[in-house]
A and B are shown apart, each in its own frame.
Chain A
C-alpha cells in the first residue's frame, strides 16, 4: 500500500452492485436490482464526502459495497492505491482495519449480550492485537475519546440512551484507528439535541485522528454541515457531485434542485410554498432506459436521452453533473456537451 498524499485515500470507479430477483417455485432469476449502477467517486485524506438521495436510491448499498459488506458486481475500489475489490479472506480482514462503518441504529448493531467493553474489544481480538492488558487500556482510551468514560465499559449497551449507544458504535469504529469511516445515517435516529452532540463528536474525531468520512444521510442540512464535498445519488447513479457550498448555492441538476427545494424552511417568518416533486423513486429493478429523473417528471426530452451518454461531466472546476438533457438547463447542457 502506498501513502502517496497526491493519491486520494479512496477511489471508486464504475462500481456496480446488482442483486438477482428470484421468484417462482424454482427461484429462477426473473430480474436484476441495479442498486448501485456505475458509481465513481474519490475521497481525500481527512475529507468528508456527503452522500444524499431518497430512500431506495442505493446510497447504503454503495457504502456497503465499498467496505465489502456487499460484494460488488463489477468496478474497482482502490484504497490507498490498492485495488481491494478482488480481496477476500485475511487480506480483506487486514484492509478492514483501516475502513470501518457506523450504522443508523446503534441498538441493532450492538450485541445486547455483550458488555460495552467486549463490544469495543472485539475488533482487537479479531485482528489479534495486543495483550489483554493493552486491550483494556485501548478500550478505555476509545471510551474516553467518545466522551463516555471508561466506567461505561462494564455496562450493557441497552442500558444507554440512543445518543450514548451511537457513541459506543463510534468507539468501536475508531478502535483500530481506521483511515476511513462509512457513516450510514449515523444521526437520523437521534433527537435533535443529541444529534448535534454526535455531529460535534464526529467533527472532533476527524480533527484529532485525520479521519475521512463517507457521510450517508437523507437530511440535507446535516450533510451540508459536515461535508467538504457532496454527491447526490438517484436510482443507483451519482447525478451531481461538487463542493458542499457549490451544490447548495448553485445546484445544476434538476433532481438536486428538487431535493433542496423540499427542505422545510426553519424560519416561519420566511414561509414559502415548497416546490413539490411529484411521484416516488422508481424501481431499480427495471430502471428507465434513458434519464431516470427525466422519466419520473415526464420530461419531453426523455426519448432523446435514451442511448445517450449520461455520465458525469465537469461543468465548472470540481463541479460534476450528469450530461442529461432532461435535468439541465439548455445552457448548462450545451456547456457540458461542449466541454465533455
Chain B
C-alpha cells in the first residue's frame, strides 16, 4: 500500500439513546473513498445512510447520538479521537457538506455573500474584501448568473436550484478534499437535478475531491458514482463498483431494489416487482440477517450476523445463505 485512501470507515457503530433503550442506527459499516472518486450510499429511509455521514463529520444530534466503535480514518488520521475544536477545523475546510434542503442549510436573514465569505474568513486569513471577491468567484464557479448582483440576495430570493448551488459553493469554498452530499438533488426537479449533478461532476474533475453521495435514487447512483454501498437496516449488505452492482447484483435486497424501479422500457401497466413487508424499525431489528427478517423467514445463520465476503475483486456481499445468490 503506497498511500492510504482519502477516507476509510471501518466497523463504524453509531447508536442513539432513546426511550426504547440504546438503538444501533449504524451497525458495523465499512467502506473507503479515494481521491477523485465518487462513492454512492443507497438505501431506503431509516437504513442509516445519513447517520453514517453525520458520524463521519461528528454532527450527530446531541446528547442522544453516540459513536460506539470503529474508525474513521481521514488521510490516515482517526477523526473519532479528535476533540471538538480540531473537528471544527476539518469540517468546512477539509470536508464540505451539502444537505438535501438548501433552505435549512442557509440562514434566511443573512445575504448569501455574508454566509459565503464567512466560510473563507473562518478557515483562512482573508480580509473582508478578499473574502467577498473570493465569494463572487465561487458563485461564478457554481454557475450562478451575474454573481456580482446575486451575492447581495437573501436565500428566499433564489430558486431551489440556485440555493443548492450556493450551498455547494459554501461547501467547496475552502477546496475540501472530501465532499459529503446527503440527498443533494432530492428536493429538486429532474431538470435541475441534472444541472446540479453535472455541476458536482465538473467541480470534481477540476478540484479532484472525493465525494460521498447519499441518495435513495438508483438513477442518480447509476449516473454519477464509481462505487456503491447498499445499506439495509444499519448494515452494508453489498458493496461493488457501479457497473458490476447494476449488472450482477448478488444480494436479494439489491436485486429487489433494482427490480422495483419502473423503467421507461418496461411494458406499461405491468405489475412492478416489490419487496414484501417494510423496513423494520431500529427497535425491532434482529442480530441475525435483517433482510430475512423482512421476508418473514427464519435466518439460516440464526442469531449470528452473516459474514461479509469479498466474492470478486472489490465486490462484497453480506453472505446470508438465503439472501446471497451465488
Contact = CB atoms under 8 A, between A and B. Distances in A.
B264 A221 contact: yes
A81 B315 CA distance: 60
Interface string A208-236: 00000000001111101111100000000
A273 B197 CA distance: 11
Contacts, number: 130
A219 B191 CA distance: 11
Contacts of B191: 54, 258-259, 262, 276-277
A266 interface: yes
Contacts of B257: 192-193
B246 A268 contact: yes
Interface in A180-228: 191-197, 199-200, 203, 218-222, 224-228
B129 interface: no
A280 interface: yes
Contacts of A271: 222-223
Contact of B190 (A197, A225, A227, A263): A263
Contacts of B225: 268
A65 to B, nearest CB: 22
A193 B256 contact: yes
A227 B269 CA distance: 7
Nearest to A263: B190
B314 interface: no
A88 to B, nearest CB: 35
Contact of A192 (B44, B195, B264, B271): B44
Nearest to A270: B222
Contact of A199 (B189, B218, B222, B262): B262
B223 A225 contact: no
B161 A280 contact: yes
Given A197-B274, A200-B271, A224 B260 contact: no
B86 interface: no
B190 A220 contact: yes
A274 interface: yes
A50 to B, nearest CB: 10
A109 interface: no
Interface string B115-151: 0000000000000000000000000000000000000
A248 interface: yes
Interface in B140-168: 159-162
Contacts of B162: 280
Interface in B202-246: 216-220, 222-223, 225, 242-243, 246
A309 interface: no
Given A193-B260, A203-B271, A280 B266 contact: no
A101 to B, nearest CB: 22
Nearest to B143: A278
B278 interface: yes
Interface residues of B, number: 45
A264 B220 contact: yes
A163 B242 contact: no
Contact of B223 (A195, A268, A281): A268
Contacts of B242: 268
B222 A264 contact: yes
Contacts of A203: 269, 271
A162 B274 CA distance: 15
B271 A274 contact: no
Interface string B172-209: 00000000000000000111111101100000000000
16 contacts: A164-B278, A192-B216, A193-B44, A195-B260, A221-B263, A224-B262, A224-B264, A244-B268, A263-B219, A264-B193, A264-B197, A266-B263, A268-B222, A269-B247, A274-B198, A280-B192
A117 to B, nearest CB: 21
A245 interface: yes
A267 B246 contact: yes
B279 interface: yes
A6 B225 CA distance: 51
B269 A278 contact: no
B268 A276 contact: no
Nearest to A243: B268
A219 B189 CA distance: 9
A111 interface: no
B195 to A, nearest CB: 6
Nearest to B161: A280
A263 B220 CA distance: 9
A151 interface: no
Contacts of B246: 266-269
B271 A276 contact: no
Contacts of A268: 222-223, 225, 242-243, 246
B218 A266 contact: yes
A2 B217 CA distance: 45
A197 B278 CA distance: 10
B275 interface: yes
A267 B265 CA distance: 12
Interface in A43-62: 54-55
Contacts of A281: 189
A280 B242 CA distance: 31
B273 interface: yes
A297 to B, nearest CB: 12
A163 B279 CA distance: 11
B45 interface: yes
Contacts of B263: 221, 266
Question: Which 10 A/B pairs are nearest by Cβ-Cβ distance?
Answer: A264-B219, A196-B272, A191-B44, A196-B260, A193-B275, A225-B262, A54-B189, A280-B159, A262-B194, A277-B191
B105 interface: no
Contacts of B268: 224-228, 244-245
A193 B260 CA distance: 6
Name, among A226, A262, A268, the residue most crowded by chain B CB atoms within 10 Å (CB to CB).
Answer: A268
Given A196-B260, A196-B274, A224-B262, A262 B269 contact: no
